[in-house]
Structure 1
Amino acid sequence: MTKHYSLNMADETKATDCRLDCLLVGESPVMQGLKRLIATVAPGHAPVMVQGATGVGKELVAQGIHMMSGRDGQMVAVNCAAIPADLLESELFGHEKGAFTGATERRIGRIEQANGGTLFLDEIGDMPADLQAKLLRALESRRVQRVGGRDEVEVNFRLVTATHRNLADHVKAGLFREDLFFRINVFPMMVPDLNMRTEDIPMILRTMMLQHRDRTDLGLPEFTQAALKALAAHSWPGNVRELRNVVDRAMVLFAGRDVTAEDVRGVLLSADMAAMNAPAPACPERLSQGPEGLRRVLESEGSINMRGYLQDIEIRLIEAALSVNEGCVSHAARSLKLQRTTLIEKMKKLSIDRTAAAAA
């Protein structure tokens, strides 16, 4: 009896490890340590705070925790930075019919939706102070009160938060409640930057390309050893999200072909970094001269990388808007006539840091 139990447990451990390995790709020591920590912490109920730079994959860690938690409910994710402050309370706690103008019916909040499962609050450091107090009360009492309601609803959820900020510094500066910080920081997890685990890049590349192999009939790109070394030497300020951009470009530009180190440095990575730091091959002034200007550019340069050029323009516009508006995403979105959530998604996709852009 004992012997069979031991074998079954081993099989279950292998299955668990396989699920995590498929979600969090990489076998570097830091990733193995992170996955061991997830496997240890996941079955419990205590809050987890996932920390790491933008683009490292904090939400994947949250998914791994939920997947291995054994909870029957769903994981409900909320990006606190992507929802305007005046709407975030209703989004989290729900509202009753008639609670405010436009509340034509009762709405169940995200916390209630996470009952029996996991609530993932991304960018918790951007949560307004008044909502921090309300969240703390919900964590302590395991009850929520909808906006405009009187009754409290019992909830049972596992809280996982994420931030790219140093919340301890925010506490010292009075920007984040100390009591909430200690309540949510029971199990801190640090997700490593990609430049701390460059040995994982070949495996991540292969996984990403296999996920999108249906995009091309010409075959997958093949990165040479020299190309992989060039990728490993890159600083990866945008982390795994930036690597995904590289894979997306390679799938289009090098389908069924070898990718060399020169291709990596001159094409794949330059689309990220050179677009931010150097003028586009065909400068905007020349392209803005109408059809005649376009004809002259094509005659003199032979071709125009339209996709790269348009992305360069988009990056410059967003960075300029953030700089003019001192890093305020809402104001920058308004000046660009975009929805705030649309701008945030573009910033993530293009690896634009609002702090760096504001300081420019």
Structure 2
Amino acid sequence: MVRHFSTIISAEHPTGPQFDADPVALMARADKLIPGKAPAIVAMKQMMVLLLNAQAPVLVHGPSGAGKELVAQALHDMSRRTGDMVAVNCAAIPADLLEGELFGAERGAYTGADSARAGLIEQAQGGTLFLDEIGDLPLQMQAKLLRVLETRSMRRLGGRSMIDLDIAVVAATHRDLAAMVKDGTFREDLYFRLSVFPLSVPPLTERLSDLPMLLDHLMHAEAKGRHDIAQPVFEASALRVLSAHDWPGNIRELKTLVQRACLLFPGRKVGAREVNESLMRFSYPEPGQTDWPAAPLPDMVAQDAPNALGEVFRHGSGKIDLRGYLRDIEVVMISAALDAQSNCVSRAADVLGLRRTTLIEKMRKHGLAR
């Protein structure tokens, strides 16, 4: 079952900071905050720029792990708000404590309230309040949140005076809010108040051309503050295997893979075998496992391919690792066949025109799991 998440951004803050009206400057900032040049991610960033300048509520859709918090942080940074982004997980706080955490309390409001305390909403003054898992917000709290959005003000528990707010509100959930409205578990008025404009975050499978850029970005982030750690080098064969993966965990899954690579292969080359044996399923690499020679990325198959290769031999180094090149193609084709046949070795062997025992031997040779 495909999971659905929504990130809701309320950017209506007439007393807040003025946005940069230059879309070119805003797009450049979006590119810096969210790496990627794939058409799907570029379209998302262009929509972010448009909606940011409009200062209107935004509803963001996308699969789990695609980067909902990154989008929220980018929108906050692009808004140039002077305050911080304050995050709260609505599903992690017990319902009987949630109101106090969000709204704060005056001294004596309840047993143990020895002093006045600002809640998370108030702490986000001048900045952004990020409400994660808003689909788990109790109905009573949904009514109170709607009141905050409508009046742009709040009152602490036990307080008498209203506090005017200058905040942007970002909320996220893996739930289908529209379906929850029909079920009566999410308020319709709050849903429509928060879903003025749609914004889609694409899954990683729709931006596989960004893999080299994303790997570089994640490795730099992993090595931040650790200058003594050399970064691994992902070879062409590794990129081909990564491109054939279906990435159910999206960017979060890719980040996990990069963390493993930085731990297991610092300053070393990572090929198809390393990806399959040590990164896709965590296991410590055997000595000498990374000695395979690198193979070039295969270009688009064309009728003049022989002539193109002839140019490489004549004007290039004069050497091409044919065995490595063919090995990498074999790894990708076997992986694709297994995936298409639900990891059934017999059916995969049939579509590849191989005997089952031959395919098993090749899988063992390349470190491919069933």
Q: TM exceeds 0.5? A: yes
Instruction: Confirm or deny that 1:264 pairs with 2:259.
Output: no
Letter in 2 for 1:95: A
SS of the equivalent of 1:119 reads: strand
Distance 1:57 1:33 in 2: 15
Distance 1:55 1:207, change over 3 A: same
Match of 1:243 in 2: 254
One of 210, 231, 235 as aligned partner of 1:224: 235
Aligned to 1:188: 198
Alignment of 1:167-186 (within 5 A): 167-186=177-196
Count of equivalent residues: 263
Q: What residue is the counterpart of 1:233 in the other structure?
A: 244
Structure 1 unaligned blocks of 5 or more? 1-9, 273-360
Correspondences of 1:35-114 after superposition (within 5 Å) = 35-114=45-124
Distance 1:44 1:86 in 2: 37
Q: How far does residue 13 in structure 1 lie from its aligned partner after superposition?
A: 5.0
Single out whichever of 102-111 and 199-208 deviates more from structure 2. 102-111
Cα separation, 2, equivalents of 1:64 and 1:264: 31
- CA change 1:200–1:271 in 2 (3 A) is same
* Letter in structure 1 aligned against 2:256: N
Cα offset for 1:90?
1.2
Match of 1:210 in 2: 220
Select which of 9, 13, 23 maps to 2:33: 23
Deviations 1:296-324, CA, capped at 9 Å, x for gaps? xxxxxxxxxxxxxxxxxxxxxxxxxxxxx
Q: Tell me, yes or no, if the aligned pair for 1:48 and 1:159 is still in contact at 8 Å.
A: no
Structure 2 gaps of 5+ residues are 1-19, 284-370
Of 111, 122, 135, 2:132 maps to 122
Give the C-alpha shift of residue 68 in structure 1.
1.8
Higher helix residue share: 1
The letter of the residue matching 2:122 is E
> Separation in 2 of the partners of 1:77 and 1:187?
22
Contact in 1 for aligned 2:66/2:252 (Cα 8 Å): yes
SS at match of 1:248: helix
Q: Which runs of 4+ in 1 moved over 6 A?
A: none
CA 188–91 in structure 1, closer or farther in 2 if over 3 Å, else same: farther
User: Counterpart of 2:282 in 1: which secondary structure?
Assistant: helix
Q: C-alpha separation between the residues in 2 aligned to 1:188 and 1:119?
A: 19
TM superposition score normalised by structure 2: 0.67
Structure ID, larger Rg:
2
For 1:45 and 1:17, the matched residues in 2 are separated by 16
The alpha carbon displacement at 1:195 in A equals: 1.7
Contact preservation (8 Å) 1:194, 1:240: yes
Relative to the length of structure 1, the TM-score reads 0.69
Change (3 A) 1:45 1:94: farther
Contact (CA 8 Å) 2:104, 2:117: kept in 1 or not?
A: yes
Taking the aligned partners of 1:185 and 1:251, their CA distance within structure 2 comes to 40
> How far 1:171 sits from its partner (Å)?
0.7
> What does the per-residue CA deviation read over 1:167-214, in whole Å, with 9 as the maximum and x for residues that have no partner?
101111111001100001112222111122111111110011122335
Q: Alpha carbons of 1:92 and 1:266: their partners in 2 closer, same or farther (altered >3 Å)?
A: same
Measure how far apart 1:106 and its partner are: 1.0
Percentage of matched positions with identical amino acids: 52
Q: How far did 1:133 drift?
A: 0.3
